[in-house]
Amino acid sequence: MSHVLTLIAPPAGLTSAHLAAARGALMALGADCDAPDWLAENEAVDLPFAALAAEQAIAAARGALGDAPIDLIAQPAEGRRKKLLLADMDSTIVTSETLDEIAAFAGLKDKIAEITARSMNGELDFQQALIQRVGMLKGLDASALEETWKTTELTPGAAVLVATMRAHGAHTALVSGGFTFFTGRVAELVGFHEHHANTLLLEGGKLAGTVGMPILDRDAKLATLKRLAASLGLALTETITVGDGANDLAMIQAAGLGIAYHAKPVVAAAARHRINHTDLRSLLYAQGFHAAEFAAT
């Protein structure tokens, strides 16, 4: 079969009835469907199909499933397992926006979080929004960074995603519009091969209110994807990217498998693939990994 539709639900949330509904919807449009392959019992299943475009398959399956909390990924069957992972950090690999959490120590979390949200939804220029937010924190004691790190949590599935891809020979990189103070720690904790982010400048143990130049933004994320792929001798079709904000959209659209993960509306609308209901293990299911193949963490 030329294509595969992957259905992914929270644990125990996927039934044979869901699969039958999706399969019936594809066949009603003239698709040929092969036997399903359960990647994880009652959680993820592959449905191979042909004679139907991926976009049509998604639309048909979604129509049949209604508002059931099931994520759907449709793609060519060949080359599903990717050799380079590029992941955003804030609200992707970790659950929080670290700059917003730093701002809490200055009593500015709500104000800065509002700017962050607008920037991540593409309503504000990323570079200017970052400069503005960091400037508002000038003079804040640098201990706020360490205190923020103490409460930073990994997104469920982050560690197993990276460990499994590494175990199968993929190169992994963390690329963030946030700060190296956090990406370095997250990369070490999760196991990324490398990390790239902005530098938050300090003066006398306090935040200087400035960011090192040049700023890592949407264009820089895309450039990092292209540079790493070229250095590894990979086509972009052999890469997978994941992120949630507007500054991730270019790398999401350029990758062979670009995932908008619990993304802002503007990003979800523009991405080919979306994960809205499940955790980061879904990126492994989308590549055809069975749960039994997941690496231990």
Which residues does the annotation mark as catalytic? 88, 90
Give the C-alpha separation, 253 to 266, whole Å.
13
- Of 225, 264, 271, 222, the residue nearest 246 (C-alpha): 264
Q: In sequence order, what are the beta bridge partners of 40?
A: 44
Give the other-Cβ count within 10 Å of 44's Cβ.
28
Spell out a b/e string for 134-169, using b for 16 or more CB atoms within 10 Å of the CB, else e. bebbeebebebbeebbeebeebebbbbbbbbbbeee
Structure tokens, 34? 């092969």
Q: Which residues touch 7 (CB under 8 Å, ≥6 apart)?
A: 14, 18, 19, 22, 44, 45, 47, 61, 70, 71, 72
- Of 64, 20, 11, the residue nearest 39 (C-alpha): 11
Tally of residues, the chain: 297
